[in-house]
A and B are shown apart, each in its own frame.
Chain A
């Protein structure tokens, strides 16, 4: 025999549902949340990249290329293949750089000035708003079809090196990462096609 819900309980249930829907609706209206939620749906990514660095002391820009690998939520690997092989791996807050046989490891929390370089990208890909806002002040431009995130480092040591990180994308795809250094130098990384895993 099925138990009938008393009228009062039913009302409470409806009220609760309504509150949940309202919360969801208000979240959906925040475009940054919407974008980050969209980005977070992607669990793996493996793309080619090219990077160009514009340094004032050099007569022409430096170019490099390689692959970016991402596994949600906190493993990001940047494999530079040319002109010189080097792998940067950010996993669980630890940054390791491998060149030749030598690997150097450092804890990101101890070097806040390095945080903008990879953490900006990882937190964006992970859709981790709180991690992003802990390190940067964030503003969003554009719409879902074509968006740009402006990230300004909060840590003074980081701000002395990096003025701003600008991440551009379309829908759930990240297209470019531009790092504007405090001394006027800048680098622009653009992603290419998705590679087979």
Chain B
């Protein structure tokens, strides 16, 4: 080895060690954060916050299916008991009536703070007469019968009134546990202590549920027929991470083995095969280290994209080993260098993307390609033993050259093909692009369907409209929610919206609670008014002693806070609607449409007007309220990403054109770009014809076609020059490199992670077409040289 070789090797070793250190310490996540913008707007931040650490992100929907219905219900109730005892879960709901009894006891105890019917008027003699009369009337109904024991303490019916105001969950119950409408699933909802963004914590919670279920199923007779199904944001995060991890490992292994087999057949030399993977490994390590340094966290999906690096980086070494040693420094390396710079230009366009996943891919690819190319240039030739002999592929190249010469006629067909592709794309232009954010999700469609079906069973659809109140403290947030609630009541009455939920329904603001306590008369006064009120009613005042006692107690009771509600069903409902974070509090008021899931544009307008109306200025200052349409926000976000991906890719393409125009002449640049553009066009038309809608990952795949294909085009450009290289061996090296790339991306096309599959299905055929088109469109100077 030369001195330069030693220097390069040492530099590589030092850098590799540093990169490995960074990669080992990098944080890897798989939650929704990759899909969130780097500089979010206020609404997007709320959306992100809600998705990442909100109450909804901590819910796990648990379903038990199969087996005998009675065994299933019993086992589900047992599972709920086991999970309630586990500190990993804050709350477990399965619809048992014990929970209802606990809730009712809490409501009864605090009824004079919680009931919105408590006003000074209600506690006048006339008001009491009316309220007690109403309660007596209701004793005939089944609910009245249930409430009969409460009558002497609660003759004004506050407890029933509170229950009336709360929408009972619309879940069917069978044998004491929640059940799907068709009765085939028993259901429960577990709320984890770990935040939704804590993927490790979620994984432990899932393991605890699976463990409890397995133990219970093993004990129950016929428990073997029961199956456990889990869904929810945490489940998605854990599944995605595991899926990406296993897919990346397996797909990398499969493509590495296939490529190694290909190279072994081509080189007939094991050392050469091993050396070929050195630039690949260096590139991957550099990529992870760069992303970790630049972003602080490496998203799982970025590693998935990293698999694709094998496809391009392996080419560099192939050119080194197959093309003649003599022309390496002068001809081959400059061509590789220009190809690498071309790719870097393309990927550089992705770096400023607001979509973190895309930006990480850009950084990963640039660092990876530069590292791979540098290792190929400065280290690999030095490591190559002088005695290393790879098989001479000249005969293969000669066959290819003859075939190429005969294909001249096909050039004419390319014009027709281009026209046909343009026509296909134009015909499908309305449905060309996918607009769903969920297309980016690594979660398989079957899991998304299970989630939707469980949500339907539990009557817990994804809330689409959310009024978000931000305030400096809990009390202010609740006061503001009360003020908005009053306006929303008017919209419900007018039929503009179907209904709404508010944290103030579960916990009134301290101001409201104090006002209610102040409506309660002192004991002597109340006793006097009660005597008056009972005139004409079939009740004697002496029976209502408990009522007088409870009212006196309520007069001096301190206002309830979220702490007192903790652990009750009202507490978990409150958790969903109120989040307290240091010195700020946020209240969420989900709004539902009158019919279906969507509000009309007019209804949204009225809703926004109600929030903004200056004459109804929200009573407490330092609070703000805004309406969030979660679906529109998400779709806007994705639409923005898609537009950005397309425009950034075009920018990258322009940068590539400029680079090639400067490095070669504009005419030669055009000759290099036309076959690549044609390959992209053909792939886009092909995907559209097979019914795929183009998403961000297809766009990225097309960028990869250009990045990889530019190498082929540049080699054909070099072959056409007067000081031409060895045509057959160049052709052979291109064929082997192309095959390696197609294998690398082709394996990806079989991934069960939708985004990886989209990338593979775009780039594998695209790379092949780029080579074929470049060959067909290459200048004719070459074939004469071969003969």
Interface residues of A (CB under 8 A from B): 51, 53, 55, 57-62, 64, 80, 83-84, 86, 88, 95, 97, 99, 102, 104, 107, 109-111, 113-114, 117-118, 161, 185, 187
Contact = CB atoms under 8 A, between A and B. Distances in A.
Interface in B107-150: 134, 136-143, 145-146, 148
B584 to A, nearest CB: 36
A64 to B, nearest CB: 5
Interface in B151-189: 151-152, 164, 168, 172-176
Contact of B142 (A55, A57, A64, A114): A114
A117 B141 CA distance: 9
Contacts, number: 66
A117 B174 CA distance: 20
Nearest to B140: A64
B97 interface: yes
A88 B142 contact: yes
Contacts of A58: 136, 538-539
Given A61-B538, A110-B173, 13 more contacts: A53-B139, A55-B139, A57-B539, A59-B538, A59-B539, A59-B540, A62-B538, A80-B141, A84-B134, A86-B141, A88-B141, A161-B145, A187-B140
B429 interface: no
A102 B164 contact: yes
A122 to B, nearest CB: 14
B159 to A, nearest CB: 15
10 contacts: A53-B139, A55-B148, A58-B136, A59-B538, A62-B538, A64-B137, A86-B140, A110-B174, A110-B176, A114-B146
B538 A95 contact: no
Contact of B140 (A51, A104, A161): A51
Contacts of A86: 138, 140-141
B172 A107 contact: yes
Contacts of A185: 148
A101 to B, nearest CB: 10
Contacts of A53: 139-140
A60 B536 CA distance: 11
Main secondary structure of the interface of B (DSSP, over half): mixed
Contact of B97 (A62, A64, A109, A110): A110
Given A55-B148, A59-B538, A59-B539, A104 B168 contact: yes
Contacts of A111: 97
B3 interface: no
A104 B143 contact: yes
A57 B152 contact: yes
- Residue with the greatest number of chain A CB neighbours at <10 A, chosen from B138, B140, B145, B152: B140
B595 interface: no
B142 A117 contact: yes
Contacts of A88: 141-142
A180 to B, nearest CB: 13
A64 B141 CA distance: 11
A55 B134 CA distance: 16
A110 B97 CA distance: 8
Contacts of B151: 57
A117 B173 CA distance: 20
A62 B539 CA distance: 11
Contacts of B152: 57
Nearest to B143: A97
A95 B142 contact: yes
B406 interface: no
Nearest first, the 3 A-B pairs at minimum CB distance are A84-B137, A110-B173, A58-B538
A158 B538 CA distance: 28
A61 B136 CA distance: 11
B133 to A, nearest CB: 8
Given A102-B164, A110-B97, A83 B539 contact: no
A111 B146 CA distance: 11
Contacts of A97: 141-143
B142 A80 contact: no
B325 interface: no
A123 to B, nearest CB: 17
A59 B535 CA distance: 12
A50 to B, nearest CB: 12
A84 B138 contact: yes
Contacts of A109: 173-175
Given A107-B173, A110-B173, A110-B176, A99 B540 contact: no
A107 B181 CA distance: 12
A141 B538 CA distance: 35
A104 B169 CA distance: 11
B140 A80 contact: yes
A121 to B, nearest CB: 13
A80 B139 CA distance: 12
Given A59-B538, A107-B173, A110-B173, A99 B97 contact: no
A104 B139 CA distance: 16
Contacts of A104: 143, 168
A62 B136 contact: yes
B543 interface: yes
Contacts of B142: 88, 95, 97, 114, 117-118
Contacts of A80: 140-141
Contacts of A113: 146
A88 B538 CA distance: 25
A160 to B, nearest CB: 11
A5 B709 CA distance: 90
Given A53-B139, A88-B142, A117-B142, A60 B134 contact: no
Nearest to A85: B137
- Name the residue in B136, B142, B539 with the highest tally of chain A Cβ atoms < 10 Å from its Cβ: B142
A115 B140 CA distance: 15
Contacts of B136: 58, 62
A53 B151 CA distance: 15
Contacts of B95: 110
Contacts of A161: 145
Contacts of A64: 137, 140
Contacts of A60: 538
Interface string B608-643: 000000000000000000000000000000000000
